[in-house]
Amino acid sequence: MKNDNWWRGAVIYQIYPRSFLDTNGDGVGDLPGIVEKLDYIAGLGVDAIWISPFFKSPMADFGYDIADYRDVDPLFGTLADFDRLLSKAHSLGVKVMIDQVLSHCSVDHAWFKESRESRDNPKADWYVWADPKEDGTPPNNWMSLFGGVAWRWEPRREQYYLHNFLASQPDLNFHNPAVQQATLDNVQFWLDRGVDGLRLDAINFCFHDAQLRDNPPKPKEKRVGRGFSPDNPYAYQYHYHNNTQPENVVFLERLRELLDQYPDAAALGEISSEDSLATTAEYVTDQRLHMGYSFELLTEDGSAAYIRATVERLEAAMAEGWPCWAVSNHDVQRAVTRWGNGESSPALAAQLVALVCSLRGSVCLYQGEELGLPEADVPYEALQDPYGKTFWPNFKGRDGCRTPMPWNDETQAGFSHGQPWLPIPAEHRAINVARQDADPSSVLNLVRGFLAWRRTQPALRSGGIRFLDASEPVLAFVREDEGQRILVVFNLSARAVQWPLPDGIVAEALEGHGLQRATHDGGTLSLPARGVYFASIA
């Protein structure tokens, strides 16, 4: 598959704007802060940025509850600030992707305010409304991902409305063609403004089962969620009816028709279903989404066997589509903590970036990943995440991966002149950007060097992938593009290991990636702790 598009093999840097850089002293990051740090971002060697929601919102879910899809919340700045951001990013050769939350909005959205007033107003059927059962209980057994039932009573209509997430995030009724068109019009507003792509939040949640059938129960031994607390009652069901409906595919094809009017624009879908890999393969085609990613590598299991099995299963299902991989984002515990087993060394942090950037597909790197930030321990009294407050203390929520970026040794680590919305832990301050910038062996400089080197290796950006048999903790595979074959080997442990090269493989080590390098003695590789081996294969 030729790499004719900027997004194919791209490294996309996710910015959580609340926590990136605050320029007005209110303790919350903003769009001017992103503008100020665009040179830093471009210097990382990434191809694009993805900005989490900055639209008008009451911030019940920190921007993922949108009250106006076409305007910037004053907390983050103005439309003029966004235009300035877009212009500067493009001048630096960096593409801009924005989050689009299509399946639900805020209770403060004008559409919902009108819809909830009566059963016969022009927006009456724009949300998922349902009558109660005879005993007054909700129409079915669907659960909210954020805890409790997925239905909220509205006395003005004497009906329930559906919310797959917070009760303040009502689900839009995509069975209504007018809702689909209004959604596409909102997307077009940003495409016309010049954005290069969309990250589509929870994109498989747009449609629900029109018959409102109950979800079947899930056996206790299978209640292992991806991206949510295992003690969450959401895990007690198979979610066959409240998301991932057949009609969603048809809508994605309408969305793709719109995107194809902007030849360089790309859509990346976030997909979380009962079989996320199968749904990703179904959604990512030449007629639907350009890329898709799921929570499959955002789990506790960072073993070589699990990574191989996950990638191979998607590869088998997605013969023609293009995946995107991530090991960290704003919804899960940071990777160096999740996969490090108490280790948070620079070698581990750099290796994790190299690993995700060596799989077939595009890559999402989350802000702070280039610094090797561990998960922050946010005390209960400082929690902001409603998800964490609901499930405390069994699950502390998502605040630990959302704490502000540490830029320097100044007050509040250079993030703000005011009190940050979340505390900045001492261990983050100690590995701030300024300190790492001055240290040639820092995670930051290792990541910069690796990403620059990756750009020179076509097989790593756009080639196919074939795994080789290896025992834990070794992960080995071959990336192959026209004219180039690269052997890639990772030691995913904190101890040195040896790995015999498979028969018939003649490899010559590639230099310049800057990571913990293996040595090659005859037919055996000696891999140091967190060691890697990139080699050209004849």
List the catalytic residues: 201, 270
Return the half-sphere exposure (C-beta side, CA atoms, 13 A cut-off) of residue 380.
Answer: 7
Work out the number of other CB atoms within 10 angstroms of the CB of residue 67: 20
Could you tell me how many residues make up the chain? 538
Q: How far apart are CA 138 and CA 152, in angstroms?
A: 8
Contact 401, 375 (CB under 8 A): yes
Quote the tokens at residue 272. Answer: 């979380």
Contact 20, 372 (CB under 8 A): no
All residues at 6 or more sequence positions from 490 whose CB lies less than 8 Å from its CB, including other chains: 304, 351, 354, 355, 474, 475, 476, 531, 532
Q: How far apart are CA 497 and CA 516, in angstroms?
A: 13
CA angle 55, 386, 27 (to 5 degrees): 55
3-state secondary structure of 192: helix
Q: How far apart are CA 451 and CA 513, in angstroms?
A: 8
Residue 390, Cβ density class (10 Å: 0-12 exposed, 13-18 middle, ≥19 buried): middle
Contact 466, 477 (CB under 8 A): yes
DSSP per-residue string spanning 416-439: -SS--SS---HHHHTT-HHHHHT-
Quote the tokens at residue 341. Answer: 């087993």
Contact 306, 300 (CB under 8 A): no
